[in-house]
Structure 1
Amino acid sequence: MTLTTNPARPAAGPSPRRRWWRRPWVAPLAVVAIAFVAFSLPPYLSLDPAASRVPAPESFPPHFAVLSLHVVFGSVAMVTCCLQVWPWFRRRHPRAHRLLGRAYVFGGCLPGGALGLVVGLATPFGPVARASHVVLALLWIGCTYAGWRMARQRRYADHRRWMVRSFALTMSIVTNRLWGAVFTVALWPQLGTTFHGDEALLGSTVAALSSWLGWVLPLLLAEWWLERGDAARRRRRVPTP
């Protein structure tokens, strides 16, 4: 009797690279980032504290200056990260990717996070929002620094994972504002009942809810995306008997 065995499966080759126009999320992401910066940045370039969209606490006189610098550095981070997460750009322009990466880390996230920590500690929106801002700033700094260290050590898979987390935290300011609008619309009818006509209390409640949801949900989504992608790659590496 002749024994037959199943032929070995051919090794799966690398997946075909998508061309630059086949990443449908890149252009909308850039549009959102640029539009958000164009809306948020001008009041803080005016050098006029009255133009600030965040009320300055009386106990912290340099609030407007620190907040303005935080917004400037955060804007650098938002604009540069759009190119950093674009796979086509990373492959075709590795030198530009490294240069923009330094700008993202040292001209955006790290100074923006440090200043955001100060602004968060002085927030006028109450202790719940303050706790959220502090945790967000520390995570933003930590994830970005870890990603930079992984790149320096040529641990590029780990670098990618940490930078995806950093990207989610960088862009969380957008979702923060969206949640703020949603909660303002939803809770405004309760101003005279639940909040006893106190607009400051309503503002603190909205700030607390939107500040936590603004970064927690994007970070959870980034973790899900990373685990889903890495799990798929592990399945492709496991040989089938």
Structure 2
Amino acid sequence: MTWLRKPWVGPLAFVVVAFVAFSLPPYLTGDRLQSRVQSDWGPHYPLLVVHVVCASIAILTCVVQIWPWFRARFPAWHRRVGRVYVLAGVLPAGLSGLVIGWMTPFGPVAQVSNVLLAVLWLAFTWLAWRAARQRRFRDHRKWMIRSFVLTVSIITNRIWGVLAFLAFAGRVPEAELPATISGISTWAGWTIPLLISQWWLERKPRRAPAERREAVPV
């Protein structure tokens, strides 16, 4: 089967589904105490719930959108799922992310990163949407890859958070540790994957080796 030629699809889908299955349930209970981010600002929790639920929709639908087999086999469904990704996923998650990012309890370094990430996420997704509407599919693919990278950056954020904890636990005051870890993980979580994706998009494709021509006997 054609989809088997893309060995990254299965592992990526597994990681995304496992991440959503772990992260989403506490925010479906309505219990503020189960939130993994606590804030004294009143609207923070309901906006966080909106952000987490809609971001979960975005990350699940995005995996389907970049699946080459699905995109080629079901173009009409690709467009429908794309609308869900934008309208029910990125748009509400990005707008709520702007607010809760600005009101983060983890300090100004994380604050700037969260707001910038939300702005770029919304901008890249809109540019991908506009390119598709204008049938500029090459540009659509590039902007969609950038949007996808920012969508899944929450996963790499967690990885950097663990590494930052291992590196700085016991080396910085305990009161400053959450802000330090958050500052590092929020920036590294999306900037490094985005730079890698940009390098991948701009790389020059390898040229196939020229076929050797047999000498024609005289």
User: Do both share a fold (TM > 0.5)?
Assistant: yes
Q: 2:130, 2:151 → 1: CA distance?
A: 18
Normalising by structure 1, what TM-score? 0.84
Q: Answer yes or no: is 1:215 the counterpart of 2:198.
A: no
Aligned partner of 1:116 among 90, 97, 103: 97
Q: Answer yes or no: is 1:87 the counterpart of 2:68.
A: yes
Compute the displacement of 1:186 (Å): 1.6
Aligned partner of 1:165 among 122, 140, 146: 146
Compute the displacement of 1:176 (Å): 0.3
SS at match of 1:189: coil
Deviations 1:195-215 (A, max 9, x none): 2xxx33111000000000000
Q: Answer yes or no: is 1:70 the counterpart of 2:51.
A: yes
Normalising by structure 2, what TM-score? 0.93
- Residue pairs, 1:1-241, within 5 angstroms: 19-56=2-39, 58=40, 60-190=41-171, 194-195=172-173, 199-228=174-203, 231-232=204-205
Instruction: Please say which structure displays the higher CA radius of gyration.
Output: 1
Q: 1:122, 1:200 → 2: CA distance?
A: 19
Deviations 1:92-142 (A, max 9, x none): 110110000000111101111010011100100000000000000000000
The percent of aligned pairs where both chains have the same amino acid is 54
Which letter maps to 2:58? A
Q: 1:100, 1:68 → 2: CA distance?
A: 22
Q: 1:33, 1:26 → 2: CA distance?
A: 11
Aligned to 2:211: none
Structure 1: unaligned runs, 5 residues or longer: 1-17, 237-241
Aligned to 1:13: none
Q: 2:196, 2:21 → 1: CA distance?
A: 26
SS at match of 1:174: helix
Aligned structure 1 segments of 4 or more residues deviating by more than 4 angstroms: none
Structure 2: unaligned runs, 5 residues or longer: 209-218
